[in-house]
Structure 1
Amino acid sequence: MATQINKTTTFFIIFFSISFSFPISATSTAPCSATSCHPREVSIRFPFRVANSQPKPCGYPGFDLSCDGTNQTVLELPGSGKFTVQSIDYGTQEIWINDPDNCLPGRLLSLDLSRSPFEGVLDQRFELFNCSLGYTKYQLNPIACLSGSNHTVFATSSVRGIQVLSSSCERIATISVPVQLPFYEEVFSSDLSNDLRLTWNKPSCGRCETKGEQCGFKSNASLEIICRNSPQHGIPKIARHAITMGAAILALGLVCFIFGKVKFFGRKTHDGIPEFATTSVVVLPPAATPRLDASTIESFPKVVLGESRRLPNPGCNTCPICLSDYKPGDPLRSMPGCRHYFHADCIGEWLSLNATCPICRKPPERSPTVEDA
């Protein structure tokens, strides 16, 4: 009897594992499913595609991306070269890029978006000046990668800055920069190192994203775009988190039930006869999981993500709990000690059930302090 029960138990465990793992495997192997160059890199889906690993129908013409040797996401602009992709907002149809060699101002001197599907969200005109090394009349922010041992290069977009620099320095270029700041905010001095903020008008997939649907071609014979239902993107992130937690609890309950039955049917009397009706087995629930109260969670460091989407952890663009990309304006919260970041709502729900970090499983190491947003 015990052998038969053990076989039944093994069957249920295998069946349960396959049932839960099959949809995940099917999704990950689909040729046009969302992918990335690295778990910490941006999510790549239509209209973008990874040129060397996904078929052409997976992306719109001009939206090819690639992965470099360090698993960074790369966008190549015709005539302007390769740029690293810092973030993509599919809802607002915006992409943030920067120079992989850390000299974005030098790339701006030859930037040409006319042959690409992209344009600047907000373009601002900057004047570049070449000044002697000893020029320190005003506190200015130099462009280090364009400066040399005998000269320093500065950039300004303000009338006052142009007046000051024109009096003692040589004007070397006028460039249009896809900035992150509103166009009416003049900048007295900038090193022009912030990400370039670009957008695209065609294809128009923002409406699909706002409805939680997937954007794609209507057919392989045309470039007409339609919205399709997307199981992954159509479910709100909180709902996906709840489903995941529910599945874990169901799995734990099933395992406890099965092994409780195995323990019951496997018990024998001293005569070696299975003991069925004379003994009852009580399967105790697992010990209560430590959790945090709302006031403690609220005291954890909280920030609001800015337009540059830069976090203390480089390359962290996706919430590890809901697997959604961070967007400007999202409130984020970090775990004291390990400094791992999450959506504030996601980590709040997690910590109300489990008082450890979802990534490293460490509890808070010290009393946190609230950071200004």
Structure 2
Amino acid sequence: MALLIYLSFIFFSTFLHNPTTAQRCPTSCPGSELELKFPFGRNPNGNQNGSCSYPGFGLSCSRATGEPILKLPESGEFSVRYIDYEAQQIWIDDPDSCLPKRMLGNFNLSGTPFGTEFWYTVTFFNCSTSDVTQNGLRPISCLSDSNYSVLVSATEGLPSTCQAIKAVTIPFVMDGIRLDWNEPNCRSCVERRGDCGFTDRNSLETGCFNLPSQGGGGLPRGAKYGIIIGAGIPGLLCLIGLVAFTGNRMRHRRHQQNLRNIEISTSVSPSVAIVMSGLDGQTIESYPKTKLGDSGRLPKPNNNTCPICLSEYQPKETLRTIPECNHYFHADCIDEWLKMNGSCPLCRNSPSGSAPITPSISSSGSSSSSSLLSP
């Protein structure tokens, strides 16, 4: 009798208890409404390998603004704007609102679990403000002043007085930098509205907890009590059978999860760079143009910075939009882009007239490089 009661206690503690992560961790920063969930977590001083996060996903809270901060070993601290847990993507930005300055200092993802799909090689130039104004160029406001202007370009045609500062390889920038991660893989758990977390912190094994009830699942309460208070050989045999059945179910589920992880890891990689063929001039010219008014601002929700040259739109400038996605760009910027790449720089939809080329794969996202107009 004593043996049966002991086994029953072990059974319910191990299999019937709904597991959750052992430690209660903060789910937000005081200055942000962004929800922090696994694999991210608030750790002391942003420790990447703290107890509240998967290694490399530790966050801290800014003392100045209270917003979440992600520290990259080779690039410093970045504010976290948004996290898509299902797509496994995070948007980061410069806390001082000057991403070009951070890019000039060499943005590097080495030593992190993150990657990004597109990288570009660009050159920063230092020009006199008068030459920039006279030639209608677009300076980077946070790096320029009344005496000199800093701009970024991948093309020739700059005034002879402009001096190259540095050529750097940067990721695609639009309202911050979008980074992706593959491990840990919690996509399936998030899709099923469960809580992803550690099942074994020592081996970094993860599982899915607190899944919504599907109805009709689990043992009735009376059956659970019957197992606990049952006595004799029949009760013990029933208990053993339930343990064996549950164990087989768990092994089967783990096997299916491993197969799913293998499929995803072999089909999705942040280091794959998709290259598209360019469009002909007639097709590009068929896309509509828009001339800005005196305010120099587009109606919401459009951003008022050209994502290709990183400069703000000015009054009376001519913009072009791609009909398939309705995104705006400087007409000369997007024209050069579409001549070499048959896809929208933002959503990567392929306009009519373009055709994909075999993707190229780089060994490391941080070492990949390409032209500004060629992802």
Query: Normalising to structure 2: TM-score of the pair?
Result: 0.46
Which is bigger in relative contact order (C-alpha 8 A, separation at least 6)? 2
Instruction: Normalising by structure 1, report the TM-score.
Output: 0.46
